[in-house]
């Protein structure tokens, strides 16, 4: 596992310029090459940070997520991408930070909380690593946990067609349609202090269940409109 700090990095002016430059290039590419359409942008909160929770079927879901929203997003990524130090520095400049795949990774969760408390929106793929097919897989509770710790809303996002555009293992981006739907923000439930940590765990599980259902509903629509 890559050791990370909860201290925020990658916030300099040069980092932000690098992010928006790369984001702009990738967004134009997706719009032209993949005929990307985005519905529901007005659902993003304008005066507070939030967690964007997209479906995950392709490696291009990360640049697509950055193109859905105009402000700079922060991303978690598999820690293997930081094993090369120069490339890791580039990923950090572009808003990324490493997590250990398949674990709770408490350091990464603390970093997520720090990002949101610093006023920046955050992308968390609740299915974890890339999945395949039309069914949204069981979600990790990390997004709900972080949302409850910070009080920020979760915005579900369905990315339709990305698996056909660049399936796992592909070396080429195919010119097939992408259709992205941004759902309405999901607010964290209020938990009575008397319920303690048990009440928070129950609430996080319930929020995760609701998020799963909404992602599946949006994903079905996005897949249909992308031509899948």
pLDDT on residue 224: 96
pTM of the model: 0.88
**Residues paired with residue 99 on neighbouring β-strands, in sequence order:** 78
Say yes or no to pLDDT of 47 above 90: no
Helices (H), the chain: 13-33, 61-68, 85-93, 106-117, 142-150, 162-165, 196-226
Question: From CA 123, how far away is CA 61, in angstroms rounded?
Answer: 11
Q: Per-residue pLDDT averaged across 169-184, rounded? A: 95
Which domains, from first to last, does the chain contain? 13-226 (3.40.1130.10)
Give the pairing of strands 37-39 and 179-182: parallel
Question: From CA 195, how far away is CA 201, in angstroms rounded?
Answer: 10
Q: Per-residue pLDDT averaged across 33-62, rounded? A: 95
pLDDT on residue 4: 40
**Radius of gyration over every alpha carbon of the chain, rounded to an integer in angstroms:** 17
Question: Pick the residue with more confidence: 226 or 190?
Answer: 226
Model confidence pLDDT, tens digit, residues 77-124 = 778 878 888 888 777 877 888 877 655 567 788 889 999 999 999 999
Model confidence pLDDT, tens digit, residues 60-85 = 998 899 899 988 899 887 788 788 88
Say yes or no to pLDDT of 6 above 60: no
pLDDT on residue 181: 98
Question: From CA 213, how far away is CA 125, in angstroms rounded?
Answer: 15
Question: Pick the residue with more confidence: 22 or 194?
Answer: 22
Dihedral sign of CA atoms 91, 64, 71, 143 in order: negative
Give the three-class secondary structure for 69.
coil
Q: Per-residue pLDDT averaged across 217-221, rounded? A: 98
Q: Quick one: pLDDT band at residue 12, thresholds 50, 70, 90?
A: confident
Q: Quick one: pLDDT band at residue 37, thresholds 50, 70, 90?
A: very high
Say yes or no to pLDDT of 25 above 60: yes
Question: From CA 165, how far away is CA 170, in angstroms rounded?
Answer: 9
Question: Phi and psi dihedrals of 213, rounded to 5?
Answer: -65, -40
Spell out the residues 6+ positions from residue 56 whose beta carbon is closer than 8 angstroms to its own. Answer: 125, 127, 128, 129, 130, 131, 159
Model confidence pLDDT, tens digit, residues 185-209 = 999 877 666 666 777 888 889 999 9
Percent of the chain with pLDDT over 90: 56
């Amino acid at each position: 596992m890559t050791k990370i700090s909860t201290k925020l990095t990658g916030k300099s002016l040069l980092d932000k310029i690098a992010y928006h430059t790369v984001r702009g290039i990738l967004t134009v590419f997706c719009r032209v090459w993949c005929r990307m359409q985005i519905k529901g942008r007005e659902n993003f909160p304008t005066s507070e940070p939030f967690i964007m929770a997209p479906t995950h079927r392709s490696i291009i879901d990360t640049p697509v997520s950055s193109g859905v929203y105009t402000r700079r997003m922060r991303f978690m990524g598999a820690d293997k991408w930081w094993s090369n130090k120069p490339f890791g520095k580039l990923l950090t400049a572009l808003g990324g930070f490493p997590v250990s795949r398949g674990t709770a990774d408490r350091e990464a969760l603390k970093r997520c909380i720090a990002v949101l408390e610093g006023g920046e929106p955050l992308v968390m793929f609740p299915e974890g690593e890339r999945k395949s097919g039309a069914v949204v897989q069981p979600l990790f509770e990390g997004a709900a946990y972080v949302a409850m710790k910070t009080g920020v809303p979760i915005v579900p996002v369905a990315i339709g067609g990305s698996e056909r555009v660049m399936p796992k293992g592909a070396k080429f981006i195919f010119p097939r349609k992408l259709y992205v739907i941004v759902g309405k923000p999901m607010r964290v439930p209020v938990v009575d202090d008397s319920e303690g940590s048990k009440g928070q765990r129950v609430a996080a599980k319930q929020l995760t269940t609701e998020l799963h259902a909404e992602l599946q509903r949006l994903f079905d629509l996005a897949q249909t409109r992308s031509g899948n």
